[in-house]
Amino acid sequence: MSWVCRLYRSSLGAKYVMATTGLLLFGFLIAHLLGNLQIFAGPDAVNSYAEKLRSLGPLLWVARIGLLVIAGVHIATAMKLAKANQEARPVAYAKVTHRAVKPATKTMVLSGLVILAYVIYHLAHFTWGVIQADHAHLEEELGGGATRHDVYSMIVLGFQTWWVSASYLVALVLLALHLCHGITSVFQTFGLHHSKYACAIKMAGPAIATLIFLGYASIPAACWLGLVKLAEAQ
Amino acid sequence: MSGHDHGHGHGHAPNPAPSHAPSHAMMRVNLHIWRQKDAHDDGRMVAYPNVECSPDMSFLEMLDVLNERLQEKGEEPIAFDSDCREGVCGMCSLTVNGTPHGPRKGTTVCQLHMRSFRDGEEIFIEPWRAKAFPVQKDLVVDRGAFDRIIAAGGFVSVRTGGCPDGNAIPVPKEEADQAMDAASCIGCGACVAACPNAAAMLFVGAKVSHLRHLPQGQAEQKRRAQAMVDTMDAEGFGNCSNYFECEAVCPKEIPVKVIAELNRDYLSASLTREERKADGGGGG
């Protein structure tokens, strides 16, 4: 396995790791979005989806630990690269004029760290139920005395609070910025570059980032516009 | 000429359009130049106000004039690299106002002229800044790291002897063009100087791309990519973050496509190359 260590230690190996883990985390973003968009199908759809996820038991934990490891490797490798990059220029220029550097690229570490902080807060809110605890343990009556976790009401009540929606949107903007650079970079890192599709690759990052932003932002927007409301209010 | 697009803002008559005829009016610039006694000195920016020059002088000629003035006053002249002064050797290496080789695209600093600047402009002149390019004196840096990367794999192994027939191996025109585009790299190091991470990927990519598009370079393609990247890492260059600033400042306008090709070759070499036990991957 020495070739694996050698590959990881090389500057390009670290980039393949960044691209691969980034792509896997992007996969999670898509899956999470598709799951959450079921809120538009009503309380039953979301609540039974949540119930199904929770009933996966050990499989759910495999997915959770997998995601944790992938995110951990992505962050650790990013920190390693950022440190090496800082060391590569010990004396800074007195004056710097860039021609091509884009804000999204320049702020990758910053946007990444803010997303990390947001994810922890987001878990504390909707998974651990630490924030807005009174919304976190609502139960939906299923008749016959049976109940199930009312995720639908938790989400709607959560997003009706202005600061929950505002922080969500700020994090989404940074996530979109992060994806703008990340998605286009994956192609370059794996050597997929050709004049035939160079333009499409260049557009892929901003286009997909915009779609992800709109998809996720549609949920608090719908809660605010009253398109999605509490079951009793319907 | 981008330098002429900016107005003076001092109530002068509008600037005449840039003229190709020699202009007799002299201009003055205020220089801020990095001075460093030797490799161990900390160095600092030193101001040289009101340096008189002709708009038709090249940037390096302007520095020659300044150096003559300094020598007349008994001061140490400013050390900077230059050789051909025709934009083909890759020796000149000045960061002018924060951009390697200065404000004109696709131009080495020796081919930059003072008419690209405004009369009275403040101009910052610094050396390439990278750990792998240590400053030797003033604006002169040691680019030996590039030589060591080339020595690690930037070649094809051939038997010397009788001169082979020039056209013995046919190369399709499209491939030859791509090889020639990459081969136009003059190894000046502007890509490293411009990269926010001081990465050398455009240089290494150009050298790998140059040979990978030719039949003579195919046999050693995988070993070359690995050996050159490993040497690049060992020399202390940064990592590529796809800023693409290198492509924007390259005086030969080498495209970042060569970096993608290097990424592809290195991955393919890491996954599929047969390695001998004794082969560490470095060296030729």
Domains, chain B, with CATH or none? 27-136 (3.10.20.30), 144-279 (1.10.1060.10)
Rounded mean pLDDT, A65-89: 97
Helices (H) and strands (E) in chain B, counts: 9, 7
Q: Is A39 exposed, middle or buried (0-12, 13-18, 19+ CB in 10 A)?
A: buried
B99·A99 Cβ contact <8 A: yes
Say what the pLDDT of residue B281 is: 45
What is the maximal distance between C-alpha atoms in chain B?
74
Rounded mean pLDDT, B242-266: 97
DSSP string, B143-206: -HHHHHHHHHHSS-----SSPPPTTSS---HHHHHHHHHHHT-----HHHHHSTT---HHHHHH
Please name the residues in contact with B220: beta carbons below 8 A apart, sequence gap of 6 or more: B153, B156, B157, B211
- At residue B1 the predicted structure's pLDDT band, cuts being 50, 70 and 90, is very low
d(CA A145, CA A164): 32
The tokens describing B14, both together, are 């509008």
Q: What are the chain A neighbours of B262 within 8 Å (beta carbons)?
A: 12, 191
- At residue A133 the predicted structure's pLDDT band, cuts being 50, 70 and 90, is confident
d(CA A140, CA B83): 80
- At residue B277 the predicted structure's pLDDT band, cuts being 50, 70 and 90, is low
Looking at CA atoms only, how far is residue A64 from chain B in angstroms? 29
Q: Give the dihedral sign, CA A211/A214/A215/A217.
A: positive
**pLDDT at residue B153 tops 60:** yes
Say what the pLDDT of residue B24 is: 66
- At residue B284 the predicted structure's pLDDT band, cuts being 50, 70 and 90, is very low
Say what the pLDDT of residue A232 is: 65
Partners of A114 in the β-ladder:
none
**pLDDT at residue B29 tops 50:** yes
**pLDDT at residue B111 tops 80:** yes
pTM of the complete model: 0.90
Q: What are the chain A neighbours of B213 within 8 Å (beta carbons)?
A: none
Q: Residue B252 in contact with residue B184, Cβ under 8 Å?
A: yes
Rounded mean pLDDT, B159-167: 84
Say what the pLDDT of residue B10 is: 43
- Other CB atoms within 10 Å distance of the CB of residue B64: 17
Of A128-137, B9-18, B31-40, B149-158, which range is least confident? B9-18
**pLDDT at residue B269 tops 50:** yes
**pLDDT at residue A35 tops 90:** yes
d(CA B63, CA B50): 13
Say what the pLDDT of residue A30 is: 97
- At residue B254 the predicted structure's pLDDT band, cuts being 50, 70 and 90, is very high
Identify which has the larger pLDDT, A21 or A148: A21
Say what the pLDDT of residue A138 is: 84
Say what the pLDDT of residue A167 is: 96
A191·B242 Cβ contact <8 A: no
Of B36, B47, B238, B31, the C-alpha closest to B135 is B36
Identify which has the larger pLDDT, A67 or A141: A67
Q: Position A172: which residue type?
A: L
Rounded mean pLDDT, A176-190: 97
d(CA B99, CA A170): 34
Of B252, B275, B256, the C-alpha closest to A201 is B256
B248·A191 Cβ contact <8 A: no
**pLDDT at residue A111 tops 80:** yes
Say what the pLDDT of residue B278 is: 55
% of chain B at pLDDT higher than 70? 89
- At residue A129 the predicted structure's pLDDT band, cuts being 50, 70 and 90, is confident
Rounded mean pLDDT, B144-163: 93
Rounded mean pLDDT, A83-106: 95
What's the CA angle centered on B177, arms B176 and B180, to 5 degrees?
85
Q: What is the pLDDT of residues B210-237, one digit of tens each?
A: 999 999 999 999 999 999 999 999 999 9
**pLDDT at residue B282 tops 50:** no
Say what the pLDDT of residue A130 is: 87
A88·B249 Cβ contact <8 A: no
Rounded mean pLDDT, B54-62: 97
Q: Is A8 exposed, middle or buried (0-12, 13-18, 19+ CB in 10 A)?
A: middle
d(CA B116, CA B230): 40
Say what the pLDDT of residue A229 is: 83
Sheet with B122-126: strands ordered across: B44-53, B27-35, B122-126, B95-96, B99-100
- How many residue pairs bridge chain A and chain B with CB atoms within 8 Å of each other? 140
When CB atoms are compared, the residue of B230, B236, B245 closest to A98 is B245
Looking at CA atoms only, how far is residue B159 from chain A in angstroms? 31
Q: Residue A143 in contact with residue A115, Cβ under 8 Å?
A: no
Identify which has the larger pLDDT, B174 or B163: B174
Q: Position B210: which residue type?
A: H
d(CA A12, CA B239): 8
Would you give the DSSP letter of residue B133? B
B138, B178, B181, B270: best to mutate for the A interface, most A CBs within 10 A = B270
When CB atoms are compared, the residue of B105, B131, B265 closest to A90 is B131
d(CA B35, CA B243): 29
d(CA B144, CA B134): 10
Alpha helices in chain B (DSSP H): 59-72, 144-153, 173-183, 190-194, 201-212, 215-218, 221-234, 245-249, 257-272
Q: Is B49 exposed, middle or buried (0-12, 13-18, 19+ CB in 10 A)?
A: exposed
Q: What are the chain B neighbours of A90 within 8 Å (beta carbons)?
A: 131
% of chain A at pLDDT higher than 70? 98
